[in-house]
Amino acid sequence: MWFHEMASQRSFPEDDFSIYYVLSECADHYDPCPVNEAEENQPHLQGVTGLRNLGNTCYMNAILQCLCSISPLVEYFLSGKYINALQKDCSEVATAFAYVMTDMWLGDSDCVSPEIFRSALGNLYPVFMKKTQQDAQEFLIYVLNELHEALKKYHQRKAYEKRSIPRCCRKMIANESSIITRLFEGQLSYSIVCLKCENCTYKNEVFTIISLPIPSEYECSLQDCLQCFFQQDTLTWNNQIHCSFCETKQEAAVRATISKVPKTIVFHLKRFDILGTMKRKLRTDIHYPLTNLDLTPYICPIFRKHPKYNLCAVVNHFGDLDGGHYTAFSKNSVTQAWYSFDDTRVSEIPDTAVQTAAAYLLFYSCQPFSIPTQKCKT
C-alpha cells in the first residue's frame, strides 16, 4: 500500500557521490577563503557567504545557508527585533545566530566561521561539539526549537478557535508564539474512524517539518510523496487504537489534513531506512517543482486560501548513512539567483541545476521574499 514501483526501472549509482563530483565539475566553484587579488575588487553580495567547516560540520553549514535565505527570519535578527524578545535564561543560541546572520548578510568577508553558533548550541547539546557527522534534519529541529525557546512570548487564550468551525478543521491556539512559530509552524489534523462502530475522533498535531515517505526506489515526484503521506491508513494489530465507544482496542482508519499552513514549509525526504540491523539509503530521484507547488488537495477545505509555494532552499546529502557530505542550494532575495554552498565554496547555478537526486530537505515559501533590511544595529 505504501510502496509502488514506477514504470521506469532505470538504475541509480550505488554511491551518489558521483552526482556530487559531476555538480562540482559543472559549477564554476570558487573557494572564497583566501581571496585572490582579482576577487578583492569585486563587491561582496549580501547573503552569499561561505562557511568554514569546523570538522564534519557540513550539516550545520547547509542548514545555516538555508535559514540565511529566509528573508523574514534574517530581517528579524538584522533589525534587532530579537533583542526585545530574548528570554534571559536561554539567550545564548539566539544571540549567536544573530551574529552569524549579520556576518553572512552585512559582513565584508566572502567566508565566515560559524564557531560562535556551534559553541552556543554545543553547550546545550555536546554531540554537536564532536567532530562527527550529524543528521541535518535533526540539527534543524534543535535549532528551531532553541530559537523558539529563546524568543517566545506567552499569551492567555482559549485552547481552540470558535466552535462554529468544524472540529476536523479547528486550529489549536498556542499560548506562546515566536518568529519561529509565525514562519514555520503548521498543524496536522487526523481523523480517526473506528472500523467497528464508525465513531470518528480528531487529533491535532503541531509541526515545523513534515517527514515524507518515498514511495519508489527509482523515481517519483514530490506530489507522489505527499499523496503517500496524506492517504488513508489502516491501524491494525499492535497499532489498534482504544475506542471510547467500544471501550476496547479496535482497528481504525486514519487520514491527515493540514488545518494550519505555515508561511515556510519544510519537507524532509525520508531517504534513510533502518530495519533492525539493516541500514540503507534510498537514492530515489525525486522531482520537485521550483515554483507553484500546490498543497490544496491536502489542506482542510475551510483554509484553502493560501497561494502556491515556491522553493527557496534545498539541503543535499551525498554518501551513505555512516558517512557523507551535505551541501545547500538557496535562492538569494537580492539577485533572485540560485547559489550552491559547499562549505567555503560558493557558486551561482542555473535553475536547472537545483533539481538533483541528492535532495534531502526542501524549503518552500508561500510568499515572495523581500531584501532583508537593518533598521537598527544589533
Q: Which H or E run includes 328?
A: strand 323-331
Contact 235, 195 (CB under 8 A): no
* 34 vs 247: which has the higher pLDDT: 247
Which one of 4, 58, 366, 376 is the catalytic residue?
Answer: 58
To the query of whether residue 325 is one of the catalytic residues in this protein, the response is yes
Sign of the CA dihedral running 7, 10, 13, 17: negative
pTM of the model: 0.86
* CATH number for the domain running over 50-153+176-365: 3.90.70.10
Alpha carbon 266 to its chain centroid, in Å, reads 3
Q: What are the C-alpha distances in Å from 250 to residues 201, 233, 236?
A: 13, 14, 8
Contact 328, 57 (CB under 8 A): no
Q: Which residues pair with 270 in a beta bridge?
A: none
Q: Which H or E run includes 188?
A: strand 186-194
To the query of whether residue 58 is one of the catalytic residues in this protein, the response is yes
Q: Which of 168-172, 240-244, 314-318 has the highest mean pLDDT?
A: 314-318
Which one of 155, 325, 366, 376 is the catalytic residue?
Answer: 325
**pLDDT per position as a tens digit, 38-88:** 445 566 788 999 999 999 999 999 999 999 999 999 999 999 999 999 987
Domain boundaries, the chain: 50-153+176-365
Record the cell numbers describing residue 301, joined without a space. 477545505
Contact 314, 359 (CB under 8 A): yes
